[in-house]
Amino acid sequence: MDPIVGLDIGTTKTCAVIGCLNDNNQVEIIGVGVCPSNGMKNGVIINIDNTAASIEKAIEDAEMMAGCEVTSALVGISGSHIKGENSKGVVAIANRNRIISHLEVKRVIEAAQAVVIPVDREILHVLSREFTVDDQSGIKDPIGMTGVRLEAEVHIVTGAITNMQNIIKSVEKAGYHFQDMVFNPIASAEAVVSQDEKELGVALVDIGGGTTDIVIYLEGGACYSSVLSLGGIHVTNDISIGLRTPFESAEMIKNKYGCAVLDLVDASEMMEVPSVGGRPPRRLFRQELTQIIEPRVAEMMEMIDHELIKSGKKGMLAAGIVVTGGGSMLDGCVEAAERVMNLPVRIGLPKDLAGLKDRVATPQFSNGVGLLKYGIRIKTFKGGKSAMKQRGPGVVNRIRKWINDYL
Ligand SMILES: Nc1ncnc2c1ncn2[C@@H]1O[C@H](COP(=O)(O)OP(=O)(O)OP(=O)(O)O)[C@@H](O)[C@H]1O
Ligand SMILES: [Mg+2]
């Protein structure tokens, strides 16, 4: 199998993960490249040239590590322009023997996506949740079943065309072909959430630098998605202002000493803070730092909780919440989330990998690894032929997407 590239263009860093499926059917990581992002704000591109430069550097570094060259990349998309909604479609099984084939499934998913989409938006995903054949509901795979009426419930994710075009332009400007686009938390879930958790009911929360992406799975299918414009950068900004220290120092202090919950920090613990304007560094209690971080993180958790309540599915999340993304690396993040949301919370790390898996063993890589895994799954299904090369009439070919997401 030719190597595949998962390209995560995040607000703070751009990361390229090259990998393939090995002989043991495991996803093998063969190259990783990370470069700071300069052209992004809250998950969307605000400068194409700078974004292209970050992409080029990240992929080149990954190529160097992998010892091979790649031509195209599968990219993630986020930003508050992304919206999710549920929809239903119904078709009659018109063929003579009344057996449901791929054709009927394709027709019913097309019928389900016949919702009114504004001209400035495009469908990113049509994720099937469940099918009903005649009166039998809760069917995951109706192919081969007999019936007269097929109904599909789907979750449709749409995004603003301009933002999608800017991603494609940036990838192409960096000298690579755009392969496909995946909503970030759907990719992250691919890397860190198990199928069992998806069946039980789980919320995947990817806390990045400038966005927090949420997707809820129930009975194996996605049923709610949302993007909040908040992330680790907001915590760092508060520290920078609160301790009167430059953003870069605040970032360093947060990563080294930061904690989201006051009770977890020993009252006698001290730390050193660099000052601005050539003044000497100061020594402070670590609890003073926690007092700045705690309310901001609690506020973020409340906003995430509000989304879970808004979805109407919070009470059904038997597998609780999986937090991932760089923001989840803050000490006390799990405790802060559990306090506010009152559900079991765990950190999601990329798993079930071979090769250079230690290079991607932190939550910041969930998205990049998830994109790679998504790409490999689609390619494997297509029998080694890329399902994603052709670009359709829209920015992202709608018919092609149902094939990708139905699997
Ligand atoms: N050890 C750490 N402790 C606390 N926060 C951390 C740590 N390491 C990284 N972070 C934070 O994680 C954030 C970056 O996370 P990530 O790389 O997932 O974001 P991104 O993908 O660039 O952005 P986004 O997904 O929002 O577009 C930064 O705000 C950074 O401060
Ligand atoms: Mg991210």
Quote the CA–CA distance of 263 and 405 in Å, as a whole number: 44
Q: 147 CB less than 6 Å from ligand 1?
A: no
Atom of ligand 1 at shortest distance to CA of 363?
Answer: 18
For atom 1 of ligand 1, the residue with the nearest CA is 255
Strand-pairing partners, residue 161, are none
Q: 210 CB less than 6 Å from ligand 1?
A: yes
Q: Could you tell which of 8, 12, 13, 237 is best to mutate to test the pocket of ligand 1, judged by most ligand atoms within 8 Å of the CB? A: 12
214: nearest Cα among 351, 65, 375, 325: 325
What average pLDDT score do residues 287-314 get?
98
Q: How far is the CA of 340 from the centre of ligand 2 (A)?
A: 23
pLDDT digits (tens, 9 = 90+) for 34-91: 999 999 999 999 999 999 999 999 999 999 999 999 999 999 999 999 999 999 999 9
With a CB cutoff of 8 Å and minimum separation 6, the contacts of 79 are 42, 43, 44, 159, 160, 163, 211, 227
Kindly provide the b/e burial profile for residues 86-106, where b requires at least 16 CB atoms within 10 angstroms of the residue's own CB: bbebebebeeeebebeeebbe
What average pLDDT score do residues 217-231 get?
96
Q: 254 CB less than 6 Å from ligand 1?
A: yes
Q: How far is the CA of 92 from the centre of ligand 2 (A)?
A: 42
Assess whether pLDDT exceeds 50 at residue 392.
Answer: no
Q: How far is the CA of 259 from the centre of ligand 2 (A)?
A: 21
Quote the CA–CA distance of 67 and 137 in Å, as a whole number: 50
Ligand nearest 293 Cα, by number? 1
pLDDT at 39 (0 to 100): 95
12: nearest Cα among 364, 296, 368: 364
Report yes or no: 319 and 189 within 8 Å, Cβ to Cβ. no
Ligand nearest 210 Cα, by number? 1
Atom of ligand 1 at shortest distance to CA of 14?
Answer: 22
Quote the CA–CA distance of 60 and 201 in Å, as a whole number: 39
Q: What are phi and psi of 304, to 5 degrees?
A: -65, -45
Domains and CATH numbers, the chain: 83-160+393-398 (3.30.1490.110), 194-347 (3.30.420.40)
Q: Could you tell which of 188, 205, 329 is best to mutate to test the pocket of ligand 1, judged by most ligand atoms within 8 Å of the CB? A: 329
Q: How far is the CA of 206 from the centre of ligand 2 (A)?
A: 7
Q: What is the pTM of this model?
A: 0.93
What average pLDDT score do residues 26-39 get?
97
Q: How far is the CA of 208 from the centre of ligand 2 (A)?
A: 5
Q: 208 CB less than 6 Å from ligand 1?
A: yes
Assess whether pLDDT exceeds 50 at residue 382.
Answer: yes
Assess whether pLDDT exceeds 90 at residue 96.
Answer: no
Report yes or no: 166 and 48 within 8 Å, Cβ to Cβ. yes
What average pLDDT score do residues 95-117 get?
90
Quote the CA–CA distance of 365 and 348 in Å, as a whole number: 10
pLDDT digits (tens, 9 = 90+) for 363-373: 999 999 999 99
Q: How far is the CA of 209 from the centre of ligand 1 (A)?
A: 4
pLDDT at 273 (0 to 100): 86
Q: 43 CB less than 6 Å from ligand 1?
A: yes
With a CB cutoff of 8 Å and minimum separation 6, the contacts of 150 are 90, 91, 92, 93, 100, 104, 105, 108, 131, 132, 133, 142
Assess whether pLDDT exceeds 70 at residue 327.
Answer: yes
Quote the CA–CA distance of 235 and 254 in Å, as a whole number: 8
For atom 10 of ligand 1, the residue with the nearest CA is 326
Assess whether pLDDT exceeds 90 at residue 388.
Answer: no
Q: 11 CB less than 6 Å from ligand 1?
A: yes
DSSP 135-167: TEEEES--TT-B-SEEEEEEEEEEEEHHHHHHH
Atom of ligand 1 at shortest distance to CA of 366?
Answer: 18
Bigger pLDDT: 94 vs 83:
83
Assess whether pLDDT exceeds 70 at residue 398.
Answer: no
Q: Could you tell which of 46, 255, 289, 335 is best to mutate to test the pocket of ligand 1, judged by most ligand atoms within 8 Å of the CB? A: 255
Q: 78 CB less than 6 Å from ligand 1?
A: yes
Q: 401: pLDDT confidence band, cut at 50, 70 and 90?
A: low
